[in-house]
Copies of this chain bind each other. A is one copy, B any other.
Amino acid sequence: MATDSLRLYGAIDLGGTKLRSIVADGGGRILGKDLRPSQSQDGLDVVLERMVESLDASVAAAEVEAARLRGLGIASAGAVDAVRGIVPGAPQLPGWDDVPLARILEERTGLPTRLENDATAAALGEHRFGGGRGSRYMLYITMSTGVGGGIIIDGEMYGGKSGAAGELGHVVLDMNGPPCGCGARGCLESLASGTAIAEKGEQLLDNGKSPILARLRAENGPVTAEMMHRAADLGDNASREVFREAGHYFGVALASYVNIFDPEVIVVGGGVAKAGDLFLDQARVTMEDRAMAQPLKGVRLIRSELGDFGGTLGMVARMAEAEEGRA
């Protein structure tokens, strides 16, 4: 058994609605896990309590002693200050304001703790343990409520001058397009995120174009991208067209990434990418149609291999490498 599989780490992925934790060894093998609501609307103290509870549950599930953990990694929604371990605040985490999350959890758990943005962590996870293994130049994009990204160059995370690099959801596709949450217009996120897809679903209903979606909405409440996916599966052509169109937008963005980075592999995660082949197939067609020939040659466009565990496994890699003096 390699050394790193004897070393155990805890990791927590903190989202606005869900909180996931794992205990894993340095080789990325998950020994125990837990998933619970983050109840972020209840404020900071409740969320902190739940994070510690979830980690305890993962330790129990792993059937190891808590004292064996060598570190704790946090993958958090929203922008983070990874260097200082601070969450400046995020729409998904109401009431959080410059929270020194790494220090707080270090004090509560006694474990060396590091913090990263969740998309950054997932990029690292996919590179170390997923579809990007062994690549020098990898891009990771998560298509979910928002669109996040991470860039691997020479096998390491690329952070830029302030650690804020990799906002691949905020490349412009249509400069006069719809307003984006970032303040600009027509970014990928404003056109092809889960939120954008759900909004287009609501418009389909306004137009009376989609009886299947209308029934699902009557039964389940407001349209979500997941609901649109179900409607598409049930034969709703208008919903299918929304996913195809979102895939086209994504393909245009992919072409820009290819021309800029000449990458080996592009890993796509998040709920939108999980929604059937329609989205990613169209994205591939558009990318191949629009990208320049030389950098396009040999690009692998693949789905996330780690799925919901990208962020936590990425933080396990981060902690393990920090111990080995690599990060």
Contacts and interface: CB of A to CB of B under 8 A. Distances in A.
A68 interface: no
Interface residues of A, number: 46
Q: DSSP class of A's interface residues: helix, strand, loop or mixed?
A: loop
Contact of A295 (B165, B183, B249, B262): B165
A57 interface: no
A159 interface: yes
A162 B168 CA distance: 21
Interface in A162-201: 162-168, 170-176, 182-185
A136 interface: yes
A260 B161 contact: no
Q: How many chain copies? A: 2
A184 B290 contact: yes
Contact of A176 (B167, B168, B172, B174): B174
A181 to B, nearest CB: 10
A262 B161 contact: yes
A92 interface: no
Given A153-B153, A162-B295, A182-B292, 7 more contacts: A159-B262, A165-B262, A171-B260, A172-B172, A183-B290, A183-B292, A184-B255
